[in-house]
Structure formats: structure tokens, C-alpha cells
């Protein structure tokens, strides 16, 4: 796995989500940057800038990475569209990375994969449930409200029944059923999150870091594919 340098502190959180996911896919594929360049048609120096947060990638490059790695292109491009929108209206403390802003995309997004910072919206954040989530419908974050956990093992994998994701990228200020699922599994493993409320706060990040340290994966406080594997053991 590549030893990645820290991303620029000024990077908008929505762009950061995208770059972190691109790095994870590249690492999981085992491809070098040169091999990635050769198979996507975008140069080595271009991919190095994309993966270090120094330039915003074209949509075609992101779609190409999804095809190469077998990732769900709808989820990945949904993250891309949110990051692209942030470049047109950066959130507080975020600065768009260099490079021309891509054309804005319209149409429905697969919002279960979209982790929008709470600071970027006013009011409640609604996220459509994915497979395995309760039939109650969309997730609505409400301060003080907590959710029940019924963790069971099926086909060797743990599940709390809120989401069956294995690759959603979660970090501080994300909300949704995926966060509820992660918090339930953390609590099940004995890592206290401060309450299963569906909001990825400081206590949840601390619990994730402890799990990552004990599970032998990269300790970065971000739930990604490898951390989900540990959570579902």
C-alpha cells in the first residue's frame, strides 16, 4: 500500500472525500501510477496531481478508475459530483484546488454514497437508504436521537441491519445509515462511540482509530474498505 502524503489542509472536505476514495481504489487495485496512467489515458504527472489533491481530476479519469478497479461507478461519480459542486461554492474553510472547474452535473445522485458535511447545509441532511437499511425510508439526523442495534452474523459477516455497505467512506461530520451501521459495529466490538446517532463526531473517530490500531489497518480515523472488513469480522 502506498505511503500517502497528507492532503493539503485547505482542501474542501468534499474534495478530500473524493481523493481519499481514489487513493483507496488505487491501493486496492495494486496498480502503479504508471500502470494507471497507461490504462486510463491520463498521464503519470496528472494522476500524481489528482491523488495528492493538487489538481481536480476530470470526470473521465474518475470513471476510468472505477472501471479498472470494479468499483460502483454510480457511487464514485456521485462523490465526484458533490466534490465538483463544492468547487463552484466552496464551504467554510475550504479552498478549491488548482485547475479549471469541471462542468456542473445535474440529475439524481445516489445519495447513499454522498457524505456531505453538515456545515454545507442548513437543517437536516437526508440520505437515501441503501440495500439492507430499514424500510422506514430516508435518514434524517436529529440531535439527541439514537438508533437501536441488533448485530447478527450472517455468512460470516457481522451486520446491524442498517446498511450492508463495505466501501462507503466515512469521516467526521458525515451522517447517514452507513454511520449508524459503523457505530453499531464499533459498539459491538467494545469501542464506545458516545451514542449511535448516525453522526460521525469526534468520539466516533476516536473509536475508529482504536479499532484500526487493534485491527492492523492504517490508522487515519476514516472508515473505508479495509476498516469495514475489520468491523464486519
pLDDT in tens, 180-192: 999 999 999 999 9
107 or 159: which leads in pLDDT: 159
Q: Which of 1-15, 49-63, 115-129, 176-190 has the lowest mean pLDDT?
A: 115-129
Inter-residue long-range contacts of 56-61, CB under 8 Å, 24+ positions, other chains counted: 56/15, 56/83, 56/84, 56/87, 56/96, 56/97, 56/98, 56/99, 56/101, 56/102, 57/22, 58/102, 59/84, 59/102, 59/105
Neighbours of 175 (CB within 10 A): 24
Domain 126-231 has CATH 1.10.101.10: yes
Which grid coordinates belong to 230? 475489520
pLDDT of 175 above 50: yes
pTM over 0.85: no
- Over residues 197-218, the mean pLDDT reads 93
Q: Domain extents for the chain?
A: 13-101, 126-231
Question: So what's the pLDDT on residue 178?
Answer: 93
Question: So what's the pLDDT on residue 232?
Answer: 96
Closest CA to 86 of 74, 101, 108, 73: 101
pLDDT of 28 above 90: no
137 or 162: which leads in pLDDT: 162
CATH of 13-101, one of 1.10.260.40, 3.30.450.20, 1.10.357.10, 1.10.10.10: 1.10.260.40
| Average of per-residue pLDDT values in the chain | 80
Question: So what's the pLDDT on residue 93?
Answer: 43
Q: Which of 2-11, 94-103, 133-142, 165-174 has the lowest mean pLDDT?
A: 94-103
Torsion over CA: 215, 221, 226, 232 (sign): positive
Alpha-carbon span 173 to 39, nearest angstrom: 35
Question: So what's the pLDDT on residue 216?
Answer: 94
Which grid coordinates belong to 75? 457511487
Question: So what's the pLDDT on residue 2?
Answer: 55
Locus of grid cell 478530500: 16
pLDDT of 124 above 60: no
pLDDT digits (tens, 9 = 90+) for 47-95: 999 999 999 999 999 998 988 888 888 888 888 988 888 876 554 444 4
Q: What are φ and ψ of residue 127, in 5° steps?
A: -130, 130
Query: Which residue spans within the chain are E strands per DSSP?
Result: 126-127, 139-140, 152-154, 157-159
Question: So what's the pLDDT on residue 87?
Answer: 77
Specify whether the backbone of 111 is left (phi greater than 0), alpha (psi in -120 to 50) or beta. alpha
Amino acid at each position: 500500500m502506498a505511503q500517502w502524503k497528507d492532503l493539503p489542509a485547505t482542501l474542501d472536505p468534499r474534495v478530500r472525500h473524493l481523493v481519499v476514495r481514489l487513493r483507496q481504489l488505487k491501493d486496492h487495485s495494486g496498480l502503479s501510477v504508471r500502470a494507471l496512467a497507461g490504462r486510463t489515458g491520463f498521464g503519470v504527472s496528472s494522476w500524481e496531481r489528482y491523488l495528492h489533491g493538487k489538481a481536480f481530476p476530470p470526470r473521465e479519469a474518475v470513471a476510468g478508475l472505477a472501471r479498472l478497479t470494479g468499483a460502483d461507478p454510480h457511487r464514485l461519480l456521485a462523490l465526484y459530483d458533490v466534490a465538483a459542486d463544492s468547487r463552484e461554492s466552496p464551504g467554510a474553510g475550504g479552498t478549491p484546488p488548482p485547475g479549471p472547474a469541471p462542468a456542473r452535473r445535474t440529475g439524481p445522485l445516489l445519495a447513499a454514497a454522498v457524505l456531505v458535511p453538515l456545515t454545507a447545509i442548513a437543517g437536516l441532511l437526508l440520505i437515501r437508504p441503501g440495500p439492507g437499511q430499514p424500510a422506514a425510508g430516508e435518514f434524517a439526523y436529529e440531535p439527541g436521537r439514537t438508533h437501536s442495534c441488533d448485530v447478527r452474523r450472517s455468512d460470516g459477516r457481522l451486520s446491524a441491519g442498517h446498511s450492508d455497505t463495505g466501501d462507503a467512506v466515512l469521516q467526521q461530520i458525515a451522517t447517514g445509515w452507513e454511520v449508524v451501521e459503523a457505530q453499531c459495529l464499533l459498539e459491538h466490538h467494545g469501542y464506545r462511540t458516545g451514542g449511535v446517532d448516525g453522526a460521525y463526531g469526534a468520539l466516533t473517530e476516536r473509536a475508529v482509530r482504536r479499532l484500526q490500531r487493534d485491527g492492523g489497518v492504517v490508522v487515519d480515523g476514516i472508515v473505508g474498505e479495509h476498516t469495514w472488513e475489520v468491523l464486519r469480522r
